[in-house]
Copies of this chain bind each other. A is one copy, B any other.
Amino acid sequence: MLGCGSVGSQVVRLLGEQADDLAARVGARVELAGVAVRRLDAPREVDVPADLLTTDAAALVARDDVDLVIEVIGGIEPARSLILSALENGASVVTANKALLAEDGPTLFEAAEKAGRDLYYEAAVAGAIPILRPLRESLAGDRVTRVLGIVNGTTNFILDKMDTSGAGFADALEEAQALGYAEADPTADVEGFDAAAKAAILASLAFHSRVTAADVHREGITDVSAGDVRSAREMGSVVKLLAIAELRPTPEGDDAVSVRVHPAMIPRSHPLASVREAYNAVFVESEAAGQLMFYGPGAGGSPTASAVLGDLVTVARNHRQGTRGVGESAYADRAVLPMGETRTRYHVAIDVDDRAGVLAAVAQAFAEQGVSIQTVRQEGRGNDAQLVVVSHEATDAALAATVDKLRDMEIVREVTSVMRVEGTEE
């Protein structure tokens, strides 16, 4: 095992406590050969026998008697080099490393293929929730068309707090940090980098194509205001940070992959709307199965260790049988649709002068971009009025251009909220 932080410690604990069950399920005892750590004397949640600890990770993965390497260091290097070296040496690998898989998955998959070994990574997306195996095995006979996921617990906690208490982003973040749901430097979570890595992994599996973090359009939640959340509430919706991967027709009529992470309003009746606090959930739409949802804890040492050990049992059983599980499946090789060409829907709230012709002018701004309007709500407030417009689907570029135009119009005092809408209209 490489790394012994909160996930690694729980893996060690479970390997000990459930040794007999694991042996019965694998068909052979699983023995911890060594644990590579940065500092031998660091405090740990679990007692690791001193003779198993080493600071020489490279030597550990090169050992002849190691059949399987669990990588729970995280980050790009040295994780990548160690995984590649483990595969070259004939070991299979179980990893929880979403950042590495999203950045450079194909290199790892090719190395696993070449070595004839397994590379499993259920723990990399949505912690304990079994989602990768259902996507790549249970739904292998179906055609997945869309995956909508709440895959980052920190941002869901913050947005849930803003929804229930009316707090602004800064206050909700502070509370999340105080409770241990957000890190001191929350950038990876609140700017959507973590969710984007998971979106890339989900898109790759769902659509049998290579999708990397660089393909993901990414917007975080730092600009989500108390007003946005209130505006969502007024229309029976809630704001969630969604990882979205869907098949969308290109102008040429092929299926391309749209993959993105951004805050969006979804109706409160949508199954994802009731995902509270730091929980995760992944909603999958497919041609034959219809709508499925997978829900559970998306992080934490013990849940993530559960996913690691599930992979370990499979990989160890494959090893004993001299076989491999499903490798990378990228045969479909679909293109990624640029965000501007992706069809989305916008919710736009605008403060305007309350006088005749205003609604007509605003409607004209939408029409000029070919955007059709689904609903408009107008509310007078003395001299000014608030207009809330929800569009039908249009290209994201046309919707963004419409908002730019609105901001420039003299009768528009302020565009107070702009947010995409998901989970309703096809």
Residues of chain A whose beta carbon lies under 8 Å from any beta carbon of chain B: 10, 14, 18, 21-22, 24-25, 122, 128-130, 133-134, 137-143, 208, 271, 274, 286, 288-297, 300, 302-303, 305-314, 317, 321, 323-324, 326, 329, 331-332
Contact = CB atoms under 8 A, between A and B. Distances in A.
A411 B306 CA distance: 54
Contact of A290 (B293, B302, B313): B302
Given A128-B290, A303-B288, A137 B10 contact: no
Contacts of A25: 140-141, 208, 329, 331
Query: Which of A18, A122, A129, A290 has its CB near the most chain B CB atoms (within 10 A)?
Result: A290
B306 A139 contact: yes
B271 A295 contact: yes
A280 to B, nearest CB: 10
Given A292-B296, A295-B295, A286 B314 contact: no
Given A139-B310, A141-B308, A308-B141, A289 B296 contact: yes
Contacts of A143: 18, 21
A2 B271 CA distance: 36
Per assembly, the copies of the chain total 2
A296 B291 contact: yes
A142 B307 CA distance: 8
A310 B24 contact: no
Contacts of A293: 293-296
A247 to B, nearest CB: 12
B14 A288 contact: yes
A141 B313 contact: yes
A84 to B, nearest CB: 24
Contacts of A300: 290
A138 B138 CA distance: 12
Contacts of A323: 321, 323
A289 B332 contact: no
Closest 4 A-B residue pairs measured CB to CB? A141-B309, A130-B138, A128-B289, A288-B306
Contacts of A317: 326
Query: Which of A128, A303, A312 has its CB near the most chain B CB atoms (within 10 A)?
Result: A128
B271 A140 contact: no
B288 A305 contact: yes
B303 A289 contact: yes
Contact of A130 (B14, B292, B308): B292
A211 to B, nearest CB: 17
A317 B327 CA distance: 11
A311 B271 CA distance: 27
